[in-house]
Amino acid sequence: MKVLLRKLMRTLVNFPLTMKFMLLPFIFTVALLIVTVVGLGQGESARQAARWLGQETLPSVIAINRFALELSHIQIDLQRLVVWETNFFDKTSVARLRSNLLAQIENLKKETQHLKQYKLDAQLITSIERFLDDAERSASLVSIDIAAGGLAAEDVTGHYALIREKLNRHVKNAELLANHHISQVLAEAEHARALAWSIVVLVSLGSIIISVLLARLIARPILDMTQVMKQLAEGRSSLEVIGLERKDEVGAMAAALAVFRRNAIQLNATQQDLRDAQARLNAAVQSMSSGFVGFDARQQLIMVNEAFAQLVEIPQEELLGLDLGGMMQKISEVHHCSPEWTIRKVDWLGAGLGSIEIRLGDRWLQLGRNCIPGGGDVVVLTDITARRELAAAQKRAMEQAEEASRAKGDFLARMSPPVSG
């Protein structure tokens, strides 16, 4: 056994890696094909048995049982007719019963012609026809001669018992034949099931042996490299890649892993530079005295500084994730802005770029919107309350100076002597 395993190991080592991986699927495919063929054969046998039961046995049993039931109805109605005639029942009821009985007999005579297709014995069919004729004569005779009709009815009863026994025997034989077919199908199914289980067990044992061999040839080196890849993914790029000296597919994988390690080292350095740049950008944005928000290409708010949150009096966490329209709507709701504010806001959003001045409470703010290359926007919010107040103060001072200048001119004009002509 050990020698056989050693030879098998050497053979597997010489196989290409793709053939090694295809070995198990090939074995399972062959096993599945065998089990499928066995199952199809068993299924065809079951279908044939079911077809035979459905097309021959069951219709025959049902039809014969129904026919026997109708014969029993005729027998019972004939006995009732004799009793009614003997006890002088109502003539109308007796006539109706006789009419129904004769109609049943006539219908069964027609159906008797179809009994041959159910493989009934010709002698039995002849006995049934004779029974129906005797029942018809008895039904007619009892209305003429009650005694003779009663005797004829007793003969019909005896005849019916013989026919019923033969019909029961025929049905029982059909059931026995059906049970025999079913037993054969079940035996074949049991044999197929045993064969399928044998194949499954053999394939499972073979798969276990081959899996152990493949694990020693392929899986163990790959697991070692997987651990190296996991450590590289965790950022530990100082580890050395093993297996670079191999010349097979595992060696090629090790070489690719070495390239991945070099790229991971470069990527980590680049990501660290990006994180440092992002940290500097965040620090610069947070240190701005003006409010600042940034939107990505999908117009979702991704950056907001504390100055903006303080100016609009809304926490930063409630603003993150909103789009530009949602942010403006949030500001409108918090500060209960007038319809004029809403109209100006919509106009500004529809214009795409630019700035507007808005009033929130006692403060005047300027909203500026600019496009970011590559997609997205930034909005800068500046408190211009002091600037507007200074401009208003300057305007009032200028107006007061102009008013004083005009008053001085008027005074000088009044005080100057008139010029003689």
The angle formed by the CA atoms of residues 19, 25 and 26, to the nearest 5 degrees, is 70
Q: Are residue 126 and residue 23 in the same domain, yes or no?
A: yes
Q: What is the CATH number of the domain that holds 369?
A: 3.30.450.20
Could you tell me if residue 231 is inside a domain?
no
pLDDT given for residue 76 in this prediction: 80
Mean pLDDT by 10 residues, the chain (421 residues): 63 59 68 70 62 62 74 77 72 78 79 69 75 76 69 74 76 74 73 75 75 68 76 71 69 78 80 82 80 84 86 85 82 76 65 70 80 80 83 83 79 65 43
The whole domain housing 83 covers: 2-210
Distance, in Å, from the CA atom of 309 to the CA atom of 381, rounded to the nearest integer, reads 10
Could you tell me if residue 163 is inside a domain?
yes
pLDDT given for residue 22 in this prediction: 67
Could you tell me if residue 400 is inside a domain?
no
Bridge partners of 365, per DSSP, are 358, 383
Could you tell me if residue 46 is inside a domain?
yes
Q: Are residue 307 and residue 180 in the same domain, yes or no?
A: no
Could you tell me if residue 261 is inside a domain?
no
Q: Are residue 196 and residue 296 in the same domain, yes or no?
A: no
Could you tell me if residue 101 is inside a domain?
yes
Report pTM.
0.36
Could you tell me if residue 184 is inside a domain?
yes
The number of folded domains in the chain is 2
Nearest to 248 by CA among 211, 213, 218, 216: 218
Neighbours of 152 (CB within 10 A): 21
- Look at the block and give the residue holding tokens 């034989």: 173
Q: Which strand ranges, in their side-by-side order, compose the sheet holding 363-371?
A: 301-304, 291-295, 377-383, 363-371, 354-360
Could you tell me if residue 228 is inside a domain?
no
Q: Are residue 135 and residue 6 in the same domain, yes or no?
A: yes
